[in-house]
Chain A
Amino acid sequence: TQLLEQSPQFLSIQEGENLTVYCNSSSVFSSLQWYRQEPGEGPVLLVTVVTGGEVKKLKRLTFQFGDARKDSSLHITAAQPGDTGLYLCAAIIQGAQKLVFGQGTRLTINP
């Protein structure tokens, strides 16, 4: 059983469309992170959300942390082919000293 469940696992849309991917858990986290990973590279941190209900924007990407700090969403407006990649959510497990990842959402934006 995944501690962090991401949905959808695969998403293929046309350039210019909007999309939302989700990261859900039954556990409460002090913070949650979103990464993007391109083929042949390691994950790159996009954002860290800390406060319940927090919304952060990174150009056309909007990240939200759920009020109960159990879930998060990533919304992309007017998707572009350069947004193609694997999007991963992750949370630090306090005490266990480890970063736990979801299984990822593989996003393909078609020109």
Chain B
Amino acid sequence: DAGVTQSPTHLIKTRGQHVTLRCSPISGHKSVSWYQQVLGQGPQFIFQYYEKEERGRGNFPDRFSARQFPNYSSELNVNALLLGDSALYLCASSRQDARSGNTIYFGEGSWLTVV
């Protein structure tokens, strides 16, 4: 069975541009979460979606947005990119939402470099 898949794996953008990152959860998983991991630090929570509804939001500016589609895949959008947005963006999926404490599985991430 395929794990969590993310695309693209690497990309370079210029300051001020917009980026869309994509994630396909494990089959049967209805919850998708997004995390930002800056080099040398642990992942920071950005969003969680469950059954296409936003269930949690981290401390990120409004330039960050996300959505979940009927097939449970998800997109993370970042507008007006800043140099500080350079990071590994991780997507994670689980069968249920975070309150259930069930196991979440991470993808390999999308490396974003803003120049």
- Residues of chain A having any CB pair with chain B under 8 Å: 4, 6, 30-31, 40-45, 48, 88, 90, 92, 94-104
Q: Is B28 an interface residue (CB 8 A)?
A: no
Chain B residue nearest in CB terms to A97? B56
Report the minimal beta-carbon distance from B8 to chain A, rounded to whole angstroms.
Answer: 14
Query: Chain A interface mostly helix, strand, loop or mixed?
Result: loop
Q: How far is the CA of A94 from the CA of B55 in the complex (A)?
A: 12
Known A88-B42, A92-B98; judge A97-B48 contact (CB<8 A): yes
Q: How far is the CA of A21 from the CA of B109 in the complex (A)?
A: 26
Chain A residue nearest in CB terms to B103? A45
Q: Is there an interface contact between B4 and A42, defined as CB atoms closer than 8 Å? A: yes
Q: Is B26 an interface residue (CB 8 A)?
A: no
Q: Is B16 an interface residue (CB 8 A)?
A: no
Q: Is there an interface contact between A104 and B41, defined as CB atoms closer than 8 Å? A: yes
Q: Is B51 an interface residue (CB 8 A)?
A: no
Query: Which of B41, B43, B44, B101 is close to A43, meaning CB atoms less than 8 Å apart?
Result: B43
Residues on A with beta carbons closer than 8 Å to the beta carbon of B4: 42
Query: Which of B56, B97, B109 is close to A42, meaning CB atoms less than 8 Å apart?
Result: B109
Residues on B with beta carbons closer than 8 Å to the beta carbon of A31: 101
Report the minimal beta-carbon distance from A98 to chain B, rounded to whole angstroms.
Answer: 4
Query: Which of B90, B98, B107 is close to A98, meaning CB atoms less than 8 Å apart?
Result: B98
Chain B residue nearest in CB terms to A94? B99
Q: Is B33 an interface residue (CB 8 A)?
A: yes
Residues on B with beta carbons closer than 8 Å to the beta carbon of A100: 45
Q: How far is the CA of A110 from the CA of B101 in the complex (A)?
A: 36
Q: How far is the CA of A43 from the CA of B58 in the complex (A)?
A: 19
Chain B residue nearest in CB terms to A86? B42
Known A94-B99, A97-B98; judge A103-B42 contact (CB<8 A): yes
